[in-house]
Amino acid sequence: MGEEDLRNEMELMKEEGQRAGGGPGGRERGPRRPRTHSRLTERDRAIAEWIERVGVAGVDDVARRFGVGRVVTYRRLAALCETGWIRSWRPFAEAGVWYPAGAKRPKVRELNHQLSVVALVVDLERAGEKVITEREMRQDDVIAVDTAQRWSIELSALRSSTALERPTHRPDFAVQREHELEAFELELSQKSRARLERLLGAWARQGRYGQVRYLCASGAIARAVQVASERAGAGRVARVEQVDVGARVAL
């Protein structure tokens, strides 16, 4: 981040903190009901709807997704915060994030994964793909009457579980292509063998997705997922790849 970009973000966060009655820095702006405002444009509303879909985003994500410069993006995000459509939060010294006004503040321990997923979503949508985010899936699953209509897949019940309903799992996002629904899982850290085999077993049994692509941040993670896939019999549906999370992924 350059000095001018950092200064823009610091000034924006400071102004929002003061409007909310709090100080600058890591304070979030308080909730406010969205209202019509002459400053908002159609692009502003599109940005707000997109942040609602992905759940959280940084300034670079918004700038890339909508093809605008960082300075303009800061101004549009400021207008959306002022009118109550989104909230801003600065969890790290070097960068802030924006999230829907009606949502809970993201958890710091989950931010790296969430923002990495959002970067992939931006790449896909800029390439013209139809992406269904995990947040959209969760909202759809709440109102789905038939289990066949749900985006989630059923996991095997744990031996210690006493729940009446079987636990479920949703991918990080999915892409709806012409003849196939493709799920994506971004793996940034190592999971236990038992957990991986349980997840891959669920992918092997399900019938809604034609393929699940595991994008792994290291060779060790990719190898662990591949072994779990083979043990769970998911080779037909699972595709395992090692990717550079900081670079653009060939999707």
Q: In this predicted structure, which of 51-60, 127-136, 139-148, 183-192 has the lowest mean pLDDT?
A: 139-148
Q: Please, which pLDDT band fits residue 92 given cuts at 50, 70 and 90?
A: confident
Over the stretch 65-84, which tens digit does the pLDDT of each residue have? 999 999 999 999 999 999 99
Residue 250 lies in a domain: no
Instruction: Decide which of 106, 130, 152 is a domain's last residue.
Output: 106
CATH number of the structural domain spanning residue 42: 1.10.10.10
Domain count, the chain: 2
Residue 251 lies in a domain: no
Over the stretch 103-113, which tens digit does the pLDDT of each residue have? 999 999 999 99
Average pLDDT along the chain: 85
* Structure token pair of residue 94: 């070097």
Residues 98 and 130 in one domain: no
Query: What integer pLDDT is reported at residue 146 of this predicted model?
Result: 75
Give the residue, 13 or 227, on which the prediction is more confident.
227
Give the residue, 39 or 175, on which the prediction is more confident.
175
Range of 176's domain? 113-242
Contacts of 36 (CB under 8 A, 6+ apart): none
Which of 73, 102, 101, 103 has the alpha carbon at shortest distance from 12?
A: 73
Give the residue, 85 or 161, on which the prediction is more confident.
85
Query: What integer pLDDT is reported at residue 160 of this predicted model?
Result: 56
CB count within 10 Å of CB 190 equals: 15
Over the stretch 42-51, which tens digit does the pLDDT of each residue have? 999 999 999 9
Residues 65 and 122 in one domain: no
Average pLDDT over every residue of 92-103: 89
Residue 164 lies in a domain: yes
Query: What integer pLDDT is reported at residue 157 of this predicted model?
Result: 77
Residues 54 and 163 in one domain: no
pLDDT at 207 over 50: yes
Residue 171 lies in a domain: yes
Task: Give the gyration radius of the chain's Cα atoms.
Answer: 20
Average pLDDT over every residue of 169-175: 97
Residues 15 and 136 in one domain: no
